[in-house]
Structure 1
Amino acid sequence: MFLYESLSIFLLLAIGLKGGIALSKHHPGELLGPILVVVAAATLVPIIGFVIARLVGQQDRANAGALAAHYGSVSVVTFAVASSFLMRQAVEAEGYMSVFLVILEIPGLLIGVALARMGASETRWLPLIHEILTGKSIVLLVGGLIIGYVCGEEGAVSITPLFFGLFKGLLAIFLLEMGLVTAGRVADLKRSGIFLVSFGLLMPLLGAMIGLITALGLGLSVGGSTLLATLFASASYIAAPAAVRMAVPEANPSLSIGASLGVTFPFNITLGIPLYFAASQWLIGGQA
């Protein structure tokens, strides 16, 4: 657990720093329009997930909302793997993609919880929003963004060897740890039936399609399109479980975590990311 916590803190900070350094090269106002477009498009993912879980999976409102919250939010680790994949392919992406990563942690969680709690008057929204905004993922990502933005590229030279030079190696160690955690969720999937497996494979493909269409409309590069598709295709298993546990305690966590961590996460890092990259090359018409 100590290793998991330490590596997750490192990865979150490193991604935030990289995004902040890239953001320092742009005026924040330039990103307002793209951010609004991305957030608007991202709201489709939890809504679609909720409808599928309710109508096809015959899940109750609480569990359907929990699934929607997990798939409406994003996976920082999956984003890190996609970034590393692009680096190996020598493909550049817009540096401000990390800003989208930070922003997209929040709306999907709120929409999923709202769908789960629709009609329930006792939901305490202010404590829930506070829990989401002060969660480890958001605080570290936003903190890294601010530090990177204030320091800029020149000011961050002294920390580059630590946070960027060691990034790939520590990411590999973190993925090995995640593999052990994922293996522990296989039993949950066996108990839950074929629907969760199908859901865990279908949702990233639908999300990636929405992300690619959004990237095309924004005029992103092949690298940027790949990262945005990956964000839309990913599912949270760090921020979402904590928020759902607080807001929808009656939901069965083995369903949402089993699908997001046991199916979607391994699918994305083995097959999904190369597939999204190839689709971006075909759709955007960019270079390899």
Structure 2
Amino acid sequence: MVETIVQLAAQNLLSPIILFFALGLAAALVRSDLSVPEAAAKALSIYLLFAIGFKGGVSVSAHGVDATLLWSLVAGGVLSFAIPFVAFGLLRVMTGLSVLDAAAVAGHYGSISIVTFVAATSVLQSQGIANEGYLVAVAAVMEAPAILSALWLAARFSSNGARGGRQQSADGLWREILFNGSIVLLIGSFTIGFVTGPKGLSEIESFIVSPFKGVLCLFLLDMGLVAGRGLRASARQMTPGLISFGILMPVIGAAAGLGASALVGLSSGGTVLLMTLSASASYIAVPAAMRVALPEANPSIYLTMSLGITFPFNLTLGIPLYLSIAQAIGG
């Protein structure tokens, strides 16, 4: 098992997507002027969300809606809602974060990183391992429940109930949750892929299949730059407790995803993806919601935790670990 994990990690570390992330991280840490224009980075993220959503919808169209799909959606929602409670408890024990900061960080770990999900999908493809395409829909379901959990934790354990900021901006918060651009595009492209099916995919296959990994490399170059800048700026705030949490929590989340996969009956590939979703931490949807809902929470902490610690861990070591465990259990 350990040998398999090491082999997969070595292969993953030498893949172009990981090496481009490492290039961006290194460039930022040495203060290089390398940068990806904001408009270009936005276009890359739009492409990735569109491609993964559309292909997922096509997969469901070809597969059909069944009980496994429905239970997978339920499992994703439950995981997203429950994981922040575990994360909050660990943060209060392992770190000196305030209630508001701990709740904000916990919300990130219940939600998901779609780019980590895409990277796991790419690893499965390179290994020739099939998976359930409808897990894209599960990813969309797992965005919002964690935000609600974080808000409840902040209200329950904060001395002032953290009421003021949220009551004044409830409409803005729900708009951030329900109409976040990444969610709208992911669900929308998934729906279009489902409606048009394999015929629709054949019409645009040259656009969303062949260029996909190249675009992902450029996007991860930008993510490496962002992560490196965050680590450089917030180095003094990253205590040993926070760093340990950023590595331990993904493993705990992946274990929860493994259990849910066994209950639902997912394939080995599907198990890897649900483990990856449960192990990842949001750096797009949840930060946007936290700015509205918990403006007192420190964004440099929760962004650096999710993007600077957990994201690189999952890319380099986490995904190979989850794949090895799924294969060992599922055969």
Give the alignment's TM-score, normalised by structure 1.
0.95
Higher deviation after alignment, 241-250 or 14-23: 14-23
Partner of 2:202: 157
Higher deviation after alignment, 228-237 or 114-123: 114-123
1:182 paired with 2:227, answer yes
Candidates 11, 30, 38, aligned match of 2:48:
11
Contact (CA 8 Å) 2:111, 2:142: kept in 1 or not?
yes
Candidates 25, 42, 46, aligned match of 2:80:
42
Alignment of 1:30-109 (within 5 A): 30=67, 31-109=69-147
- 2:154 maps to a residue whose letter is A
Partner of 1:115: 153
Structure 2: unaligned runs, 5 residues or longer? 1-37
* Displacement after TM superposition at 1:28 (Å): 3.9
* Displacement after TM superposition at 1:194 (Å): 1.3
Distance 1:256 1:189 in 2: 13
Structure 1: unaligned runs, 5 residues or longer? none
Between the two structures, name the one with larger relative contact order (CA 8 Å, sep ≥ 6). 2
Contact (CA 8 Å) 2:84, 2:150: kept in 1 or not?
yes
* Displacement after TM superposition at 1:21 (Å): 0.9
Partner of 2:8: none
Contact (CA 8 Å) 1:68, 1:112: kept in 2 or not?
yes
Partner of 2:60: 23
* Displacement after TM superposition at 1:82 (Å): 0.3
What SS class does the counterpart of residue 156 from structure 1 fall into?
helix
Partner of 1:249: 295
Distance 1:167 1:45 in 2: 31
Computing the radius of gyration over CA atoms, which structure comes out larger, 1 or 2?
A: 2
Distance 2:75 2:213 in 1: 31
Task: Let me know the Cα RMSD of the aligned residues.
Answer: 1.4
Distance 1:174 1:120 in 2: 36
Distance 1:16 1:52, change over 3 A: same
Kindly provide the CA deviation profile for residues 40-97 of structure 1, in whole angstroms up to 9, marking residues without a partner as x: 2332211111111123313211101100111111001000000000010010001111
- 2:143 maps to a residue whose letter is E
Contact (CA 8 Å) 1:189, 1:259: kept in 2 or not?
no
Distance 2:134 2:281 in 1: 21
Partner of 2:31: none
- 2:73 maps to a residue whose letter is I
Contact (CA 8 Å) 2:61, 2:197: kept in 1 or not?
yes
Contact (CA 8 Å) 2:55, 2:201: kept in 1 or not?
no
Partner of 1:147: 192
Kindly provide the CA deviation profile for residues 20-54 of structure 1, in whole angstroms up to 9, marking residues without a partner as x: 11122344463223311332233221111111112
* Displacement after TM superposition at 1:155 (Å): 2.2
Partner of 1:203: 249
Contact (CA 8 Å) 1:196, 1:255: kept in 2 or not?
no
1:227 paired with 2:264, answer no
What SS class does the counterpart of residue 184 from structure 1 fall into?
helix
Partner of 2:284: 238
Contact (CA 8 Å) 2:257, 2:278: kept in 1 or not?
yes
Partner of 2:9: none
* Displacement after TM superposition at 1:282 (Å): 0.9
Partner of 1:172: 217
Distance 1:189 1:116, change over 3 A: farther
